[in-house]
Amino acid sequence: MGKVIAVANQKGGVGKTTTAVNLSACLASLGKKVLLVDIDPQGNATSGIGVNKADVHYCIYDVLINDISPVETTLPTDVEGLKVIPATIQLAGAEIELVPTISREVRLKKALEVVKDKYDYVIIDCPPSLGILTVNSLTASDSVLIPIQCEYYALEGLSQLLNTIRLVQKHLNAQLTIEGVLLTMLDARTNLGIQVIEEVKKYFQDKVYRTIIPRNVRLSEAPSHGQAIITYDPRSRGAEVYTDLAKEVVGI
């Protein structure tokens, strides 16, 4: 049975997409079969893994709104073992179009049920909001991975995310757990990062991953080349830490 993990935090710029893309690629490099699902209308995971959005025929929008099978929307990537369901800007309309539809919160769950057993992991890159697309992701998932940027106000807004998780657990998906909390973009030159790490560990305790993602220029360059970090620069610090994270997720 494939495990479905949503990468979620309604704050933008905390490292969701970087984590979704690179965790997916590193899991695949460990020999796992992985499906990356982009459910952010910005489609950054889609372009970040090398899919040209202009060439996309069907995207996740068609799965959610037009009942197109996820099989038909799945595309190969340059990383062996990794496939992707892309998102394009068309998805921006879905938040509104889903409102009057039946079973609007469980559409992604139903769609993924058809394909998830073909994979070891399905990783969903959520948009920076707690709207219907994120609720669909949390409803479809076994667990949620929360990236937190090592900066001032790191914990701000997290109560809303945790509240949404509780509501989903109560009404839509009782099985949902917190996979882990990932500290991202640590700047080792400042004391601030250390303070944030302590604060987050006090709050989330053993849910915090041992792996902490530092700021790494290669990680920020890779998406513009349409490559995961392990392809773009396999010897970089970024490749090393996301491989460590993948091992933690697998439990090796």
Closest CB 210 distance from ligand ADP, rounded Å = 16
Distance CA 126, CA 226 (A): 19
Binding track over 127-166 against ligand ADP, x by CB under 6 A = -x--------------------------------------
> Does position 237 bind ligand ADP by CB under 6 A?
no
Residues that bind Mg ion in the complex, under the rule CB under 5 A: 16-17, 44
Output the smallest distance, CB 140 to Mg ion, in A: 18
Q: Which is nearer to ligand ADP, 115 or 134 (CB)?
A: 134
Nearer to ligand ADP, 207 or 218 (CB): 218
From 219, 229, 230, 239, residue interacting with ligand ADP (rule: CB under 6 A): 219
- Rounded least distance, CB 9 to Mg ion, Å: 9
14 binds ligand ADP (CB under 6 A): yes
Tell me if 91 sits within 8 A of 126, measured CB to CB.
no
How many positions of this chain bind ligand ADP (CB under 6 A)? 17
Angstrom distance (rounded) from CA 93 to CA 65: 10
In this chain, which stretch among 68-76, 102-110, 164-172, 211-219 interacts with ligand ADP, using CB under 6 A?
A: 211-219
Count CB atoms within 10 A of the CB of residue 161.
18
Interface with ligand ADP includes 24 (CB under 6 A)? no
According to CB under 6 A, which one of 135, 161, 165, 213 is a site residue for ligand ADP? 213
Q: What is the DSSP string of the chain?
A: -PEEEEE--SSTTSSHHHHHHHHHHHHHHTT--EEEEE--TT-HHHHHTT--GGG-SS-HHHHHHS---HHHH-EE-SSTTEEEE---GGGGGHHHHTTTSTTGGGHHHHHHHHHGGG-SEEEEE--SS-SHHHHHHHHH-SEEEEEEESSTTTTTTHHHHHHHHHHHHHHT-TT-EEEEEEEE-B-TTSSHHHHHHHHHHHHHGGGB-S--PBP-HHHHHGGGGT--HHHH-TTSHHHHHHHHHHHHHHT-
Distance in Å, CB of 190 to Mg ion, minimum: 24
Cβ at position 213, least distance to ligand ADP in Å = 5
When asked if residue 12 is in the footprint of ligand ADP (CB under 6 A), the reply is: yes
Interacting stretch for ligand ADP, rule CB under 6 A, among 15-23, 87-95, 158-166, 228-236?
Answer: 15-23
Please report whether residue 226 would count as binding ligand ADP according to CB under 6 A.
Answer: no
Instruction: Give least dist CB 223 to ligand ADP, A.
Output: 6
- Residue numbers at the binding site for ligand ADP (CB under 6 A): 12-18, 44, 128, 184-185, 213, 215-216, 219-220, 223
